[in-house]
Chain A
Amino acid sequence: MDRIPILKLGDALLVSVQVDMHDRLSKALEEDLTSKIIAAKSKGVLIDISGLDIVDSFIGRMLDTIAAVARMLDADTVVVGMRPAVAITLVELGLTLSGVKTALTVERGMAMIGLGVSTIHGEPGHEGS
């Protein structure tokens, strides 16, 4: 079964969603991500969707669910890299993803959850939010 790789980036986890999501893949991602948050004691999750040319309500619901579960495990979720056409379409669809934070780039996403670039280079714990 296909799985989406989850990378550790300092105190955060980075997921790059590049492929077309379907049910099983989405469920697998939710499960992998929650166990990895615990295992890596991550404080944040960055979901890069720059590779997605559409986000429908199914994927939107997945993003919302991941953010809600991560929040309960004390991790912030930021969705990064949304394409402009996707943003326009999501609003018209009526899906504003109010439960998730968004940032234009991975770097800004890291800053948003209080994990600056210095954290990645080996100075953990000194970044304010």
Chain B
Amino acid sequence: MRGLETVPIREGTDVVRVRQQVRVLAQQIGLGTVDQTKIITAASELARNALEYGGGGMAVMEIVTGPSGPGLRLSFEDQGPGIPDIQRAMTDGYSSGGGLGLGLSGAKRLSNEFEIHSSPGAGTRIVITRWK
């Protein structure tokens, strides 16, 4: 298994960098065009969330091996204010900022696995996986 790759998220152009890096890894494990598009889009949503709501953070990317083949696991972490009501934040259309409120729920739909850890004051960590 290859090592972790980390991309810091500090400004808008870093979101672009996250997308580019996810694309490279998605191609490496042989994801098809639609699956590549889905995981890159999910990564873009979560990286932007980390930037807008978490005040920046980082993306950690890893190629993992599952029972039926390789997958791409992406983790997005920030040290922001955290999410007080995760269930509410996962609802389509709910946004605490000026966004469309599709970031979290949309990223979940675009991934095969989705985990979220967050509490007020302790930042947010979201891990998504897309299997080949």
Hey, which bits of chain A sit against chain B, CB under 8 A? 20-24, 53-58, 60-61, 83-86, 88-89, 92-95
Contact = CB atoms under 8 A, between A and B. Distances in A.
Contacts of B23: 53
A53 B37 contact: yes
Contact of A56 (B33, B41, B109): B41
B30 interface: no
In this complex, the member of B19, B37, B106 whose beta carbon has the largest number of chain A beta carbons within 10 angstroms is B37
Interface of B: 12-13, 15-16, 19-20, 23, 33-34, 36-38, 40-41, 44-45, 48, 92, 99-100, 102-103, 105-106, 109-110
A22 B15 contact: yes
Contact of A94 (B19, B37, B105): B105
A85 B33 contact: yes
Nearest to B15: A22
B106 A57 contact: yes
Nearest to A61: B100
Nearest to B107: A93
Given A57-B102, A89-B110, 19 more contacts: A53-B23, A54-B37, A55-B41, A56-B41, A56-B48, A57-B103, A57-B106, A58-B15, A58-B44, A60-B100, A61-B99, A86-B37, A88-B34, A89-B38, A92-B109, A93-B109, A94-B92, A94-B105, A95-B106
B106 A92 contact: yes
Contact of A95 (B16, B48, B100): B100
Nearest to A59: B44
B109 A88 contact: no
Contacts of B41: 54-56, 89, 93
Closest 3 CB pairs of A and B: A22-B12, A93-B106, A23-B12
Nearest to A92: B109
A86 B40 CA distance: 11
B44 A56 contact: yes
Nearest to A93: B106
